[in-house]
Amino acid sequence: MSDSLTAAEAMPIEVKPATANRFDDVAAILDPRGTAVCWCLFYRLSSGDYDRLAHQDRPDFVRELLGRTPAPGVLAYLGGQPVGWCGIGARHEMGRLRRSRTIPTVDELPVRKLSDQRHFRDPDGWMKRAVGGVKYQG
């Protein structure tokens, strides 16, 4: 460790599956203001389902997803605090992609997809620790 690293920069980033017992950590990343707007469901649902799912019902939908195996995403932790999320799922689980004309299926292989929606919190300037790159490695 270089003498120029701060304590936050020296902390290891942990990547863990986003499971039901980590719902509060998922909520801290996806809904930090308590507005229940996004919840990283844009690609996971078809356009119609996304529009029909009321904003206030999205946390319960995500809570249900977190109970599935494999986990629908990963969380990044720094110093024990959640600092990032990346949604992951099979293409056939991504409603918006199943009928996409701009991102067509090229074969029938069971592909896992990293959601194009990644969420990060940077309460103490931790983004310089490259949380995003570590999450992809996890």
- Per-residue pLDDT of 89-128, as tens digits, reads 887 888 888 878 887 777 777 666 555 455 666 555 555 5
Token code pair at residue 14: 């942990």
- Per the domain annotation, does 2 fall within a domain? no
User: For 7-58, how does the pLDDT look when each residue is reduced to its tens digit (9 = 90+)?
Assistant: 555 678 899 999 999 999 999 988 888 887 778 898 889 999 999 999 999 9
Whole-structure pTM value: 0.75
> What are the structure tokens assigned to 79, written together?
């110093």
Residue 125 lies in a domain: yes
pLDDT score, position 102: 84
Total tally of structural domains belonging to the chain: 1
| Within a domain: 68 | yes
Return the closest-CA partner of residue 30 out of 21, 18, 14, 48.
18
CB 43 within 8 A of CB 96: yes
Q: Which domain holds residue 73?
A: 18-137
Strand order in the sheet with 73-78: 13-17, 73-78, 81-90, 112-120
Query: Is residue 50 in a domain?
Result: yes
Assess if residue 28 is contained within a domain.
yes
Distance (Å, whole) CA 62 – CA 40 = 9
Residue type, 119: H
Q: Does 3 reside within a domain? A: no
| Residue 54 · residue 66 · CB < 8 Å | no
In this prediction, residues 74-99 reach a mean pLDDT of: 86
**Does any domain span residue 84?**
yes
- Pick from 36, 38, 30, 81: nearest CA to 56: 36
